[in-house]
Amino acid sequence: MTKSLREIEQSIKLVDAVVYVLDARAPFSCINPAFSKIISGKPVVYALNKADTVPECELPAWIERLSVGGNAAVKLNSTASNAAKIISDKLKVLCADKIERKRLKGIRAVIRAMIIGVPNSGKSTLINNLCGKSKTVTGNKAGVTRGQQWVKVGEYLEVLDTPGTLYPKLDNTTVALNLAFIGSVRDEVVDTYELSLELIRRLTETGEGIEFRYGFSPSGSAADDLCEIARRRGFMLKGGQPDLERASYAVLDDFRKGRMGKIILEKAL
């Protein structure tokens, strides 16, 4: 992560603007404090990606909160055809001064933008949407993009894809859990069983997800509820014991892929 931050710091001088991709389910947790100083002075388009996984009514408040200081924010589902055009439109607005300066010289400006965000936020998918074809490697797990990649979107727009970068120190437990829930932290480095219990507890507090997906009301005991999920999904071991490992992965996968309904982990204040 330190190497990625250093590379981003070195490349920021080459770009006119930044596209900051946030998972709409946890926008605040996706904002990396280490980026703040690096991107200072550059106009930012905040892309609330995976907007189709959260209640529509929650998005306007986040867009308003992020659209300050000359920056812009948009909602986005980067898997939908041509959805990312709004990003290029916003970049033209934010870079209007450069475009006008070039126009006065008889030159068509080429906007160069850097794409940043935490792992698994959908940066590469967004770029592929902008291009209308797969020019980057994508995957539904953290850490797919390994290095920086310049991609020509059109005659007048180029974007720099960067590896998903987490803050080196995740001291805030809620932020760390949110990032783990949405898949920005690799499952290989977390206890999937404990993480699934934490997610069940969070969803029980908000009254969302469990009954929608599994057809029963949470009992108040996350461990008991995970056992019930295993039974209802048919995840059983020999001897009639619930397969809690398989159930744990299922709970996390169901949440990440929106099978629990539209859920937001962080509301704009």
Which pLDDT band holds residue 93 (cuts at 50, 70, 90)? very high
Tell me, yes or no, whether 60 lies in a domain: yes
**Would you give the distance in Å from CA 233 to the centre of its chain?**
28
The domain that holds 240 is classified in CATH as 1.10.1580.10
Q: Tell me the pLDDT tens digit for each residue of 215-254.
A: 999 999 999 999 999 999 999 998 999 999 999 999 999 9
Give the distance from CA 253 to its chain's centroid.
15
The pLDDT of residue 3 is: 79
Pairwise CA distance, residues 36 & 256, whole Å: 27
Beta bridge partner(s), residue 44:
18
Number of domains forming the structure of the chain: 2
Do the domain assignments include residue 175? no
* Together in a domain, 28 and 122: yes
| Pair (105, 61) in one structural domain | yes
Q: Which residue range is the domain that position 204 belongs to? A: 191-256
pTM: 0.89
Position 33 in a domain: yes
What is the SS3 string spanning 119-165?
A: CCCCHHHHHHHHHCCCCCCCCCCCCCCCCCEEEEEECCEEEEECCCC
131 and 248, same domain (yes or no):
no
Per-residue model confidence as pLDDT tens digits over 124-145: 899 888 887 655 443 444 433 4
Does residue 146 sit in the same domain as residue 205?
Answer: no
Contact (CB, 8 A) for 116 and 165? yes
Residue with tokens 């934010």: 94
> Per-residue pLDDT averaged across 118-125, rounded?
90
